[in-house]
């Protein structure tokens, strides 16, 4: 599709009528799939698999609650944008410069550290699939450059299609393997509806709760919806269906990892150690189902890690470009100069996420940077929940789209939970 045709479609999008009803809304699902593909990375696979390895499937309830809370936060972001016509960066700016200053510092640091960690995760899987072909750092660099080209020189439609392909790969491989393992359906159902916290499982449960569905990339959702032309209140029901599908897929994938850990390692008492241990898990898979199954698992691991690269690159670039726009008080009529893959601010920040972090691949992550990254990251989810409560219950939001008691209860629950998770993260860091 040419840029001229794409731009014409975007200009025409606001006048398009939103579909009515669940069946028609399902045909528009797309940005929610991007959220699903982005939100499950190698680290989330490790936390879910470790929980299954240590405690079986009793912590499935944590996956469900985590998905529900991330849905509530993302729905709040989408509702704010579609009901007000203002991005979340504009909302934060209205609360005071402290909010955008905090987020700007956080975004710069988190994307720099994540830029090295994410490509390393993808490289681990490829190195295991093709041993001896290239060193790990070279695979990492290739993944970073490929992500830069796809996000910076493709268009949103291509980006969304690529993410959908990754979702398909993850389902066929990881979820398929979980089904092959033949888990106890009754035990799965019990773990879903009856919260149980065995001795020593609290930290695992918190890790699973916090790991469902991403961090700063949640704030990217309205920009992906904007690319679809979902910019008016009548698109809110479609948005809710879209993210419900996205988080349902995320939850299924995380449950699959719990099942894999429970069925392959729980009974034997074996464990994994980080992402390198996740690669090593291919050995018991190979012993039980053959080499093809082990290769498929590694491909699923690679798809999860690589889709997170693309989603984080794209979402981070949108957020930074909008940060610059709001700092300059550029009106929405000129937003396209910033909120576009062709924007110098979009591509400039994309370069920041791709190339400087490559230095960390050789030097290792500086301790101070990691501490600051962990500290700011621990504060982001409570910050997001708190500011959404503030914005969605104030005169900044049209009366008919303000949060009701149920939404406020859920956002309040998210605030409390992610504050606890943040404190736990800070204690672990220091």
SS3 letters for 48-66?
HHHHHHHHCCCCHHHHHHH
pLDDT on residue 272: 57
Alpha-carbon span 368 to 109, nearest angstrom: 11
pLDDT on residue 201: 64
Can you list the domains of the chain with their CATH numbers? 20-422 (1.10.4160.10)
Contact status, residue 226 vs residue 158, Cβ threshold 8 Å: no
Alpha-carbon span 105 to 209, nearest angstrom: 25
pLDDT on residue 5: 35
Contact status, residue 76 vs residue 392, Cβ threshold 8 Å: yes
pLDDT on residue 155: 85
pLDDT on residue 48: 73
DSSP state letter for 18 = P
Q: For the whole model, what pTM was predicted? A: 0.88
pLDDT on residue 271: 56
Contact status, residue 357 vs residue 115, Cβ threshold 8 Å: yes
**H-state helical runs in 281-343:** 282-289, 291-327
Which residues have CB under 8 Å from 189's CB, separation 6+?
A: none
pLDDT on residue 12: 45
DSSP state letter for 267 = T
pLDDT on residue 374: 55
pLDDT on residue 269: 54
For the chain, 430 residues long, the average pLDDT of each consecutive 10-residue run is: 40 65 90 87 72 74 87 95 94 92 90 82 86 87 92 88 92 87 70 68 69 76 93 94 93 86 65 60 79 87 89 94 92 86 93 87 57 64 93 95 94 88 70
* φ, ψ at 230 (rounded to 5°): -90, 80
pLDDT on residue 349: 95
pLDDT on residue 192: 65
Alpha-carbon span 374 to 384, nearest angstrom: 16
Cα 209 to chain centroid distance, Å, stands at: 13
Q: For Cα atoms 245, 107, 301, give the angle at the middle one, nearest 5 degrees.
A: 50
Round to the nearest angstrom and report the end-to-end CA distance of the chain: 51
pLDDT on residue 363: 64
Alpha-carbon span 47 to 204, nearest angstrom: 7
Helix/strand/coil for 25: helix
């Amino acid at each position: 599709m040419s840029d001229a045709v794409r731009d014409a479609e975007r200009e025409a999008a606001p006048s398009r009528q939103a579909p009515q009803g669940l069946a028609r809304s399902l045909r528009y699902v797309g940005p929610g799939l991007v959220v699903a593909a982005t939100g499950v990375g190698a680290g989330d696979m490790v936390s879910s698999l470790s929980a299954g390895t240590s405690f079986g499937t009793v912590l499935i309830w944590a996956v469900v609650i985590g998905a529900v809370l991330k849905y509530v936060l993302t729905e709040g972001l989408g509702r704010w944008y579609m009901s007000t016509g203002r991005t979340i960066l504009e909302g934060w700016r209205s609360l005071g410069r402290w909010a955008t200053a905090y987020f700007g510092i956080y975004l710069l640091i988190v994307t720099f550290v994540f830029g090295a960690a994410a490509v390393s995760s993808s490289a681990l899987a490829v190195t295991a699939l093709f041993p001896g072909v290239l060193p790990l750092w070279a695979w990492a660099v290739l993944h970073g450059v490929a992500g830069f080209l796809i996000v910076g020189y493709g268009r949103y439609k291509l980006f969304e299609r690529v993410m959908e392909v990754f979702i398909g790969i993850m389902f066929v491989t990881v979820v398929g393997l979980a089904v092959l393992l033949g888990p106890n359906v009754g035990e799965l159902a019990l773990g879903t509806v009856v919260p149980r916290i065995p001795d020593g499982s609290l930290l695992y449960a918190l890790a699973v709760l916090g790991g469902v569905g991403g961090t700063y990339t949640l704030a990217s959702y309205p920009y992906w919806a904007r690319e679809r032309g979902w910019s008016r209140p009548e698109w809110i029901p479609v948005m809710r269906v879209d993210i419900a599908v996205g988080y349902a897929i995320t939850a299924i994938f995380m449950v699959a990892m719990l099942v894999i850990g429970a069925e392959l390692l729980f009974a034997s008492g074996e464990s994994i150690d980080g992402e390198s241990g996740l690669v090593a898990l291919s050995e018991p898979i190979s012993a039980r189902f053959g080499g093809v199954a082990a290769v498929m698992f590694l491909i699923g691991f690679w798809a999860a890690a690589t889709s997170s690269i693309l989603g984080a690159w794209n979402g981070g670039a949108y957020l930074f470009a909008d940060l610059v726009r709001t700092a300059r008080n550029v009106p929405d009529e000129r937003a396209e100069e910033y909120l576009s893959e062709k924007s110098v601010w979009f591509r400039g920040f994309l370069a920041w996420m791709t190339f400087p972090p490559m230095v960390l691949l050789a030097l290792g992550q500086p301790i101070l940077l990691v501490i600051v990254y962990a500290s700011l990251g621990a504060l982001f989810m409570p910050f997001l929940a708190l500011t959404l409560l503030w914005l969605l219950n104030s005169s900044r939001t049209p009366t008919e789209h303000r949060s009701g008691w149920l939404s406020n209860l859920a956002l309040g629950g998210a605030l409390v939970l992610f504050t606890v998770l943040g404190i736990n993260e800070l204690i672990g860091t220091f």
